[in-house]
Amino acid sequence: GDSVTQMEGPVTLSEEAFLTINCTYTATGYPSLFWYVQYPGEGLQLLLKATKADDKGSNKGFEATYRKETTSFHLEKGSVQVSDSAVYFCALSDPTGGFKTIFGAGTRLFVKA
């Protein structure tokens, strides 16, 4: 079945450092891919998405490119801020499966001032 694997955390960075969180997926169809973020004390919210191969999703300085050849959707940000400290979840949604959405285990990011 479909699955999502993302790098384990926690990831600790200094402010203005470059961030990469790796995510790979397995899917039988052509899923949409997502990054969701969970800030402390808040609910899950969509950060960015990509619906087809080579699409790049972007939001709040974060980017991720849908790479079908490597089945990856790595999250990147050029310069992190303390306010980016959160848990990041990679997810896929399979339209052929009624948009069943599968999440990775999450990666906690700590950004130090």
Partner 1 sequence: EAGVAQSPRYKIIEKRQSVAFWCNPISGHATLYWYQQILGQGPKLLIQFQNNGVVDDSQLPKDRFSAERLKGVDSTLKIQPAKLEDSAVYLCASRIAGGNTGELFFGEGSRLTVL
6-22 CB burial, b ≥16 within 10 A, e <16: bbeeebebeeeeebebb
Of 19, 27, 102, 111, the one binding partner 1 by CB under 8 A: 102
Tell me if 49 contacts partner 1 by CB under 8 A: yes
Sheet holding 75-77, edge to edge: 19-21, 75-77, 62-65, 56-59
Among 17-25, 38-46, 64-72, 74-82, which window interacts with partner 1 (CB under 8 A)?
38-46
For residue 21 the two structure tokens come to 């969180």
CB of 30 to partner 1, least distance (A): 11
Give the binding-site size for partner 1 (rule: CB under 8 A).
26
Tell me if 89 contacts partner 1 by CB under 8 A: yes
